[in-house]
């Protein structure tokens, strides 16, 4: 049985034997030569199914990340194409500028990894959150193992303790060989946003306290006005009754009105 992906020239020897006569009779040895033609294998794009995804932090310097692309065919030259990226991810071109339009073809390279520089974009975190509201479910659907999903969940819980936004970002990568055979894969990243400052929290709490106090004061004022109106109506009623009984009202009573 030949090895997988074997190719090239090979041969085998054979001999014919006749066992029906009085003695063993065999033919001369013969040789068969074969040429095993190579079948082109599509390239591959390795994901993070069995290892924790890289973690990016908003405000940090761009991180160099090696896209694990390759081909089983020895010596095959690959072209790596960035198909798309989540809005919370910024990928830098080799000249250092942000890639604003995709698909984007990276420099041609031999079989192996392709390095990119990537950073987290604070303005796109909401977009990433909308794209992957259920991070656990997205990773499960992508075939990510339980241990990796647990690590991502722990990162999310740490972000919540810091009062910082947390999202799942992804880039789609396509590897193309010289014959045009290609494979597209997805690489995930976790993105940690900037933690909200304590001063901002205190300011929000102070505003809420002022609003609550204003509501209480307004309620008290309304109660006082209503009480005053009730007292005035009651006093007028008393004076009117006095006029009806006595026929006159004293100056003192008038003054009180």
Report the pLDDT value the prediction gives residue 4, as an integer from 0 to 100.
72
Domains of the chain: 44-196 (2.60.40.10), 199-256 (no CATH)
Residues 6+ apart with CB under 8 A from 127: 86, 87, 88
What DSSP string runs through 67-123?
E-EE-SSTT-EEEEEEEEE-TTEEEE-TTS-B--SSSEEPPPEESS-EEEEEEE-GG
DSSP 124: G
Most confident segment among 45-49, 146-150, 250-254 = 146-150
CA angle 10/16/21 to nearest 5° reads 170
Model pLDDT for residues 33-86, shown as the tens digit of each residue: 988 887 888 888 876 666 788 899 998 999 888 888 888 777 778 888 999 999
Segment 147-168 shows an average pLDDT of 90
Give residue 242's pLDDT band: very low, low, confident or very high (50, 70, 90): low
For residues 20 and 61, which has the higher predicted lDDT (pLDDT)? 61
Residues 6+ apart with CB under 8 A from 131: 86, 87
Phi, psi at 222, each rounded to 5°: -60, -40
**Whether pLDDT at 89 is above 80:** yes
Strands 114-120 and 89-92: antiparallel
Using DSSP's 3-state secondary structure scheme, residue 24 falls into: coil
Model pLDDT for residues 188-224, shown as the tens digit of each residue: 999 998 887 655 455 555 666 677 777 777 777 787 7
Alpha-helical (H) ranges within the chain are 125-131, 135-141, 146-161, 198-246, 251-256
Phi, psi at 76, each rounded to 5°: -70, 140
pTM of structure: 0.62
Q: Alpha-carbon dihedral of residues 196, 200, 206, 210, nearest 10 degrees?
A: -100
**Whether pLDDT at 235 is above 70:** no
């Amino acid at each position: 049985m030949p090895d997988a992906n074997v190719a090239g020239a090979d041969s085998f020897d054979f001999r014919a034997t006749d066992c029906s006569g009085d003695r063993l009779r065999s033919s001369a040895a013969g040789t068969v030569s074969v040429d095993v033609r190579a079948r082109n294998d599509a390239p591959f794009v390795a994901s993070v199914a069995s290892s924790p995804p890289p973690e990016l932090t908003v405000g940090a310097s761009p991180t160099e990340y090696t896209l694990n692309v390759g081909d089983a065919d020895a010596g095959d030259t690959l072209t790596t194409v960035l198909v798309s990226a989540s809005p919370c991810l910024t990928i830098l071109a080799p000249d250092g500028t942000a890639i604003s339009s995709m698909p984007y073809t990276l420099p041609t390279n031999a079989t192996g990894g392709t390095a990119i520089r990537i950073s987290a974009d604070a303005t796109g975190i909401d977009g990433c959150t909308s794209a992957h509201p259920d991070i656990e479910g997205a990773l499960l659907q992508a075939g990510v193992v339980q241990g990796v999903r647990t690590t991502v969940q722990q990162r999310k819980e740490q972000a919540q303790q810091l009062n910082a936004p947390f999202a799942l970002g992804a880039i789609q990568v396509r590897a193309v060989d010289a014959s045009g055979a290609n494979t597209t894969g997805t690489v995930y990243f976790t993105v940690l946003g900037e933690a909200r400052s304590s001063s901002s929290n205190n300011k929000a709490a102070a505003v809420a306290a002022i609003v609550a106090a204003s509501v209480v004061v307004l309620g008290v004022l309304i109660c006082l006005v209503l009480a005053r109106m009730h007292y005035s109506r009651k006093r007028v009623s008393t004076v009117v009754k006095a006029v009806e009984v006595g026929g006159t009202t004293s100056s003192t009573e008038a003054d009180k009105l």
